[in-house]
Structure 1
Amino acid sequence: MTQEEFVPKSYTNTVLEGTVKWKSPSNIALVKYWGKKENQIPANPSISFTLDACATTTSVTYKKLDSKADNFSFDLFFEGKPKEDFKPKIETFLTRIEAYLPFIKEYHFKIETSNSFPHSSGIASSASGMSALALCLMSVEKELNPSITTAFFNNKASFLARLGSGSACRSIEGPLVQWGNHANTKGSTDLFGIKYPNEVHSVFKNYHDTILLVDKGQKQVSSTVGHNLMHNHPFAKERFAQAHTNLDELQTVFKEGNLKRFVEIVESEALTLHAMMMTSMPYFILMKPNTLQIINKIWEFRAINKSNICFTLDAGANVHVLYPENEKEVVYQFIKDELVAYCENEQYLCDRIGLGAKQL
């Protein structure tokens, strides 16, 4: 598909007002997206597990204006309270998507949003938040044009979400979503995320993700700044090639259920992301001492118990502990006994892979 196909020709219905509501999950990348081109186009392809419990619920109440406005008309509430400081981000998002949803200056929107995870918990809420908002706006468009198919709806919602936050395009569907052009993945595109189209072994169907909240503070480096550091990075070319190679290899891993190799690729990807930040200019160390303590404990436990536990990291200090369903009791006990002590206020979140966003 091309982005021109997402520009509507006309609408068949007139809708004066209504309310739509979506719950959309966060996701955790296995092969990391780090570095982007213009218009939120990824510099390399990525693949992620869609999560289930860590989610944003957004409702949009819309009412037709007497005439088309010059500016976007909306109020924003986060967990019941006005959220003025987030409005510029929504304004930027609406500006980027106006060409694809030309009706948005014809309505006033009341946007009400909340997260299932604690605010400032260090969980990236932009993926769940922007995907939930994109889905709500797509539901309004479907009211205006009921002939939109489910496949088109999902693709366009992912396309729009991407313009708000790159990783948000991977939160629409699940359990495995790939985003970015990749020669050996049929249907892959830079424009939106697709459900991983190849065979997946049953061992990956019920994976768990326990998120250890090592540092709940404000992100040290915004995603935008972090991605921009890749523009003149001395190792960028090798990194982008590595992502393609890892995706190639994961196809075999997913098909055969090779957990040992899965662990190696996923942990290497996490450490590579942090290595890119440490070798950029300016440079950053995003891990905390407790992040390293947890990693070493995981390696030790894995060696002693012949476990398939592994970790991954986003661009921060928190640790995502990934493990298959058949190890959940023993791994969860280990997390409680050995790892929770390294979390801020002993806080952690239990999640598992899910099937994507749901309309409520």
Structure 2
Amino acid sequence: MFSANDFIPTTYSHTIEGGSFQWSAPSNIALVKYWGKKDNQIPANPSVSFTLNNCKTITKLAFAKKENQDTFSFDLLFEGKPKEDFKPKIQKFLERIEIYLPLLKSYHFTIDTQNTFPHSSGIASSASGMAALAMNFMSLEKALNPEMTEEYFYQKASFLARLGSGSACRSVKGSVVVWGNQDNIKGSSDLYGVEFPNAIHENFNNFQDTILLVDKGEKQVSSTVGHDLMHNHPYAEKRFTQAHENLDKLIAIFKSGDLEEFIKVVESEALTLHAMMMTSMPYYILMKPNTLQIINAIWKFRNDTQIPVCFTLDAGANVHVLYPENVSAAVLQFIKDELVGFCQNGQYICDEIGRGSNKLD
């Protein structure tokens, strides 16, 4: 396992004047939720997620050596057009990671990024966006230090991505990713995400995630504010204990393939996340009436058909419908017949488990 100090380079063995890299990185959906954090983006509890395949960010990083190396210098393009309102977040990210990437002030960067999913769709793009940017920065560092190992490359990329957006560390590598110390998961760390190292039953191969876009507006309470409200939350410690317990349960569930128990854990985690929001001070609700309509419809459909389909939620109103690939036809017909009417403009996105980030030629 690497420590934070291991990610501080002393020297670079090579030099490079300019060039470009391009990476894609996916979004992810947590099964055990991370909610609440300590200083430096350290999670208050461990989490585990499915990496998605289709919902991803594609980022090209062009770089050129510059004379003035006192400040950060970058241009930011979103879908080919300047995006000034994104720049403060990137500036803050660069300030956080400079100690680990001292090369950053040596170059002028042009960051050109786009999402494969609709902008303002209500799908969190910070995880995929920060992961894609971290992968590009690591490609540059590897060009300066070609002897870098693959393990170091990916773990440092996840470490850097975490400093931009906590859940971004789960979008770097692997189909099922754990972030946060968990005693019985080898290699797990608060500093970066790791591929789930234990057995995973074939029931979870190519698991499907259809994302129902209930509300595409901006959340009235940001995730950052929500995390901070866990500091004095009356149920925080019990919640953190519960997350550890549910992650333990999933270790056994992934091995056995027990979809009934999987559904219990995943749906309980989703509702607990929102219960934490509703019982914080100040309290707030991110679910919408149509979110509840969808949840009740899924429960009725599952009870009537015995098809193992379930829901989970992020910190928002949209619903992720999770189900095995072998029941796709029936579930998609159910979604079209009964759930699309609860989506804003009838919009939904079909996705599935992916493998993580990908370098593009």
Bin for the TM-score computed over the shorter chain: over 0.9
Could you tell me how far apart the structure 1 residues matched to 2:299 and 2:135 are?
Answer: 40
Q: Summarize deviations over 1:11-48 as a string: whole Å, max 9, x none.
A: 01110000000000000000000000000000000000
1:1-360 pair list within 5 angstroms: 1-68=2-69, 70-360=70-360
Could you tell me how far apart the structure 2 residues matched to 1:203 and 1:174 are?
Answer: 17
Partner amino acid, structure 2, of 1:171 = S
Alpha-carbon contact 1:162-1:192 (below 8 Å) kept = yes
Could you tell me how far apart the structure 1 residues matched to 2:29 and 2:347 are?
Answer: 19
Could you tell me how far apart the structure 2 residues matched to 1:67 and 1:282 are?
Answer: 46
Please report how far the alpha carbon of residue 151 of structure 1 lies from its aligned counterpart in structure 2 after TM superposition.
0.9
Q: SS of the counterpart of 1:197? A: coil
Q: Summarize deviations over 1:223-277 as a string: whole Å, max 9, x none.
A: 1101001000000000000000001111110000000000000000000000000
Partner amino acid, structure 1, of 2:189 = T
Please report how far the alpha carbon of residue 125 of structure 1 lies from its aligned counterpart in structure 2 after TM superposition.
0.1
Q: SS of the counterpart of 1:194? A: strand
Could you tell me how far apart the structure 2 residues matched to 1:348 and 1:267 are?
Answer: 20
Q: SS of the counterpart of 2:113? A: strand
Could you tell me how far apart the structure 2 residues matched to 1:331 and 1:41 are?
Answer: 37
Could you tell me how far apart the structure 2 residues matched to 1:193 and 1:104 are?
Answer: 23
Please report how far the alpha carbon of residue 7 of structure 1 lies from its aligned counterpart in structure 2 after TM superposition.
0.5
Partner amino acid, structure 2, of 1:217 = G
Q: SS of the counterpart of 2:9? A: coil
Partner amino acid, structure 1, of 2:181 = N
Could you tell me how far apart the structure 2 residues matched to 1:169 and 1:257 are?
Answer: 26
Alpha-carbon contact 1:203-1:324 (below 8 Å) kept = yes
Could you tell me how far apart the structure 2 residues matched to 1:241 and 1:270 are?
Answer: 16
Please report how far the alpha carbon of residue 67 of structure 1 lies from its aligned counterpart in structure 2 after TM superposition.
3.8
Scaled by the length of structure 2, the TM-score of the pair is: 0.99
Could you tell me how far apart the structure 2 residues matched to 1:289 and 1:263 are?
Answer: 22
Could you tell me how far apart the structure 1 residues matched to 2:317 and 2:44 are?
Answer: 24
Partner amino acid, structure 2, of 1:14 = T
Could you tell me how far apart the structure 1 residues matched to 2:282 and 2:81 are?
Answer: 37
Runs of 4+ in structure 1 deviating by more than 2 angstroms, as ranges, are none
Partner amino acid, structure 1, of 2:55 = C
Q: Summarize deviations over 1:177-236 as a string: whole Å, max 9, x none.
A: 000001111110000000000000011111000000000001221111010010000000
Query: Over aligned residue pairs, what C-alpha RMSD do you find?
Result: 0.5
* Count of residues in correspondence between the two structures: 359
Could you tell me how far apart the structure 2 residues matched to 1:86 and 1:263 are?
Answer: 37
Q: Summarize deviations over 1:148-167 as a string: whole Å, max 9, x none.
A: 11111000000000000000
Could you tell me how far apart the structure 2 residues matched to 1:205 and 1:32 are?
Answer: 21
Sequence identity (%) = 66
Q: SS of the counterpart of 2:178? A: strand
Could you tell me how far apart the structure 1 residues matched to 2:221 and 2:206 are?
Answer: 32
Alpha-carbon contact 1:313-1:319 (below 8 Å) kept = yes
Please report how far the alpha carbon of residue 174 of structure 1 lies from its aligned counterpart in structure 2 after TM superposition.
1.8
Q: Summarize deviations over 1:266-315 as a string: whole Å, max 9, x none.
A: 00000000000000001011110000000000000000000110000001
Q: SS of the counterpart of 1:190? A: coil
Alpha-carbon contact 1:220-1:316 (below 8 Å) kept = no
Alpha-carbon contact 1:43-1:240 (below 8 Å) kept = yes
Could you tell me how far apart the structure 1 residues matched to 2:152 and 2:223 are?
Answer: 28
Could you tell me how far apart the structure 1 residues matched to 2:147 and 2:124 are?
Answer: 34
Could you tell me how far apart the structure 2 residues matched to 1:64 and 1:138 are?
Answer: 16
Q: Summarize deviations over 1:60-85 as a string: whole Å, max 9, x none.
A: 000000242x2210000001110101
Could you tell me how far apart the structure 1 residues matched to 2:287 and 2:223 are?
Answer: 15
Which range is displaced more, 38-47 or 142-151?
Answer: 142-151
Alpha-carbon contact 1:180-1:191 (below 8 Å) kept = yes
Q: Summarize deviations over 1:304-359 as a string: whole Å, max 9, x none.
A: 00011000000110000000011000001100110000000000000000001100
Could you tell me how far apart the structure 1 residues matched to 2:182 and 2:9 are?
Answer: 28
